[in-house]
């Protein structure tokens, strides 16, 4: 019973229990476990009782096929413990994911890498130093929405002098209704607001470029210096890629945090479902357009353009929408991309329902 309670602290709940029951029979020596760290296809997983090393067996590797299906930090897996002659345990299955954050593997058209799996909340962290870049936040936002996790824009280093009103003005058309939290890992300001987005058994992933303070924020929330941090370069605030692997950390009092290494770039590909979610104000205005397939660009009878003309929708936000859609559409698309996008969209739909409920419960009017 104690073990079960601990699994719950790792995020295990009734719906995971149902998924498990549908896939695995009792007594076949498999245990549910959560991936804590991944490094070169060696995994550290937690069973709720203990942490063990495990690898993916050849047979399962074959079954999983694509890189995207491979276990990632945050995944729930079926573990077979190491026998007397084995070095490590074996991961024999990966449970279907809820929310996740995926990025395109550089230099390929369709290979995706799961940065964090089963995430409920994605903190998109920027530093209010030279790092701040609205276009970058926009890309992260689309990728987060596409993966079905609830995004929160986190502006860290609020202790530094900065024209906050200017930042908010610039960010407004991009953020829409996504909450924006102004925090300082250094002073501790805004930490309760971040905690408010996490909650018992929920998983939050920290994403953003190197040096924005992801690990410092996690240390501040957890109350230890467990995650290594390093000074940014003074001239341009660039980080030093201090965190080198993704890791899941348990927050005392409930909640799970995933630290990630800063990404050099984030490439967009088929994120059309993310685009609709990010611009749900435009999507709902578009219901009244004369043409059902209206692109809100040059068509007559466009309800979106009317809203801009009447001042109900900002021209900036409309322009942003048109620009981003063009960017997404112009990416080469192949069969695998389409299939993967359809799969993502299906998973995202489930999670976006939860997201909408979240917005309905009092986040309206923010941003
Ligand atoms: N002034 C100020 N500095 C901060 C704040 N949060 C973090 N820093 C500093 O920013 C630097 C980088 O912080 P890290 O936590 O290592 O950044 P990171 O995002 O984890 O970077 P990578 O692991 O390289 O991806 C450190 O020197 C921190 O002390 C803050 O709120 N205010
Ligand atoms: Mg770090
Ligand atoms: Zn229209």
Gap from CA of 322 to ligand 3 centroid (Å): 11
Which residues share a beta bridge with 258? 205, 248
Q: Give the model's pLDDT for residue 260.
A: 87
Does residue 211's CB lie within 6 angstroms of at least one atom of ligand 1? yes
* Strand ranges in the chain using DSSP code E only, listed in sequence order: 30-39, 42-46, 51-56, 76-80, 89-94, 100-104, 112-117, 121-127, 150-156, 180-182, 203-207, 247-250, 256-259
- Average pLDDT for consecutive 10-residue bins of the chain (367 residues)? 65 91 78 89 89 85 73 93 87 87 63 83 92 84 82 94 90 88 96 92 91 94 84 75 84 88 62 68 88 88 94 90 73 46 52 48 38
Q: What's residue 140's pLDDT? A: 85
Instruction: Return the SS3 of 275.
Output: helix
- Atom 8, ligand 1: residue with shortest CA distance: 213
Ion ligand 3 contact residues with beta carbon within 5 A: 289, 294, 296, 302, 304
pLDDT recorded at residue 239 = 77
Matching residue, tokens 């002073």:
187
| pLDDT of amino acid 275 | 73
Q: Which ligand is nearest to the Cα of residue 294, counting in written order?
A: 3
Q: How far is the CA of 294 from the centre of ligand 3 (A)?
A: 5
d(CA 364, CA 367): 9
Q: pLDDT value at position 254?
A: 81
Distance 302 CA to ligand 3 centre (A): 4
Which tokens sit at 100? Answer: 């996740």
Q: How far is the CA of 323 from the centre of ligand 3 (A)?
A: 15
Q: Are strands 256-259 and 203-207 parallel, antiparallel or unpaired?
A: parallel
Domains and CATH numbers, the chain: 2-94 (2.40.50.140), 100-259 (3.40.50.300)
């Amino acid at each position: 019973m104690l073990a079960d309670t601990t699994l719950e602290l790792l995020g295990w709940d009734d719906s995971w229990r149902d998924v498990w029951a549908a896939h695995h029979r009792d007594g076949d020596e498999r245990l549910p476990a959560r991936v804590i760290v991944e490094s070169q296809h060696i995994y550290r997983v937690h069973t709720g009782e203990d942490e063990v090393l495990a690898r993916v067996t050849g047979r399962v590797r074959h079954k999983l096929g694509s890189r995207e299906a491979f276990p990632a930090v945050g995944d729930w897996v079926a573990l077979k413990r190491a026998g007397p002659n084995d070095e490590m345990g074996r991961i024999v299955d990966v449970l279907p994911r809820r929310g996740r954050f995926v990025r395109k593997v550089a230099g390929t058209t369709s290979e995706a890498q799961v940065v964090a799996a089963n995430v409920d909340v994605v903190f998109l962290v920027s530093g209010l130093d030279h790092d701040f870049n609205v276009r970058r936040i926009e890309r992260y936002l689309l990728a987060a929405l596409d993966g079905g996790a609830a995004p929160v824009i986190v502006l860290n280093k609020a202790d530094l002098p900065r024209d906050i009103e200017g930042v908010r003005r610039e960010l407004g058309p991009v953020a829409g209704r996504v909450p924006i939290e102004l925090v300082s890992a250094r002073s501790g300001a805004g930490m309760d607001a971040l905690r408010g987005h996490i909650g018992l058994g929920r998983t939050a992933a920290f994403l953003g470029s190197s040096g924005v303070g992801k690990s410092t924020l996690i240390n501040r929330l957890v109350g230890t210096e467990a995650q290594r941090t390093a000074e940014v370069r003074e001239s341009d605030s660039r980080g030093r890629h201090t965190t080198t692997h993704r890791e899941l950390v348990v927050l005392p009092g409930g909640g799970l945090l995933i630290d990630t290494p800063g990404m050099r770039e984030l490439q967009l590909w088929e994120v059309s479902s993310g685009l609709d979610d990010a611009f749900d104000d435009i999507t709902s205005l578009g219901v009244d357009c004369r043409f059902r397939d209206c692109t809100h660009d040059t068509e007559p009878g466009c309800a979106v353009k009317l809203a801009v003309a009447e001042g109900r929708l900002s021209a900036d936000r409309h322009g942003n929408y048109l620009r981003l859609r063009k960017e997404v559409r112009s990416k080469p698309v192949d069969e695998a991309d389409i299939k993967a996008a359809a799969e993502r969209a299906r998973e995202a739909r489930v999670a976006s329902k939860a997201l909408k409920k979240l917005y309905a419960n009092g986040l309206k009017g923010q941003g």
